[in-house]
Structure 1
Amino acid sequence: MIVSEEQLYLDQHLSTKEEVLAFITDKAVELGITTNPTLLEQDLWKREQEYATAVQQLIAIPHAKSAAISEAKLLFIRLVAPIDWGSEEGFEAQAIFAILVPASEASQQHLKILSSVAVNLLEESFQEQILTVKTEYELMDYLKENLEGELI
């Protein structure tokens, strides 16, 4: 299972991209996704330095293909307030899908997860739901209905 209710974090009080990437790394350690938080955070930053992962206003998809990751996972973080994501377009981020994929599965698995999330983000109803859903349980039900079956 790529995503579960324990990987959904609603209404987080994080105020910078740095705090968000550190939060993702900390949660990856807690969930047993990585035992090398330093390398994971470096790999997240490496991707951000290539091109900021804010894909549209209020939505960011930071991702890492890393030897530090033991199994592919998707984390979702919703912030209490939007933050500057440092994108060329000036996008802020409030809903963040973090894609963590082992380097050995990078090409196929990473693209499958990214594609499923990106296709859903084209729908305004999906964007509205992830920004307003009240509980992690409700969000998990919604994701089960909308993300491709193999991701859940």
Structure 2
Amino acid sequence: MRSVVVGVDHKQPDLPRRAASLVQSLGGSLVEIVCLWVDETAVTEPNGFAVSVDPDIVMSDDRYAADVLDGLNRSMADVGLPWSAVRGAGDPARELARVADEVSAAMIVIGARRNGLRGWATSMVGGTVAGHLVHDQRRPVVVLPERTLGDEDAA
């Protein structure tokens, strides 16, 4: 079974479902969707444990992680493909590449950068996740816009 790694962003909760739809439209029925959400406020220690850079945040009791998993369970309930959820820490591009290597992913799917001033500022300071992946990745990177043609037809 092949895997497709999908970057999860709370601003685009339907992204994993749209990635599954893309995979199915390309004839992929023997594919597992690996949903990865990355806590950018955490770092991974040499022993493999993720710890927050903010001492007030307890990683093992994180409401954000529970909310993300809850949203994934709702969004992916009836997609018709097996899926799993993985949590990463630190740099999203590095974590997506790491997980893709671990599962020998066929491709990585991410959402387009956020609109507005914050998205612009983030891309100006550190670049975009897509930009980092496209230049450093050996596998295809698919960037899904917030709305696809199928979404517009339904509106």
Does TM-score exceed 0.5, indicating one fold?
A: no
Which one has a larger percent helix, Structure 1 or Structure 2?
1
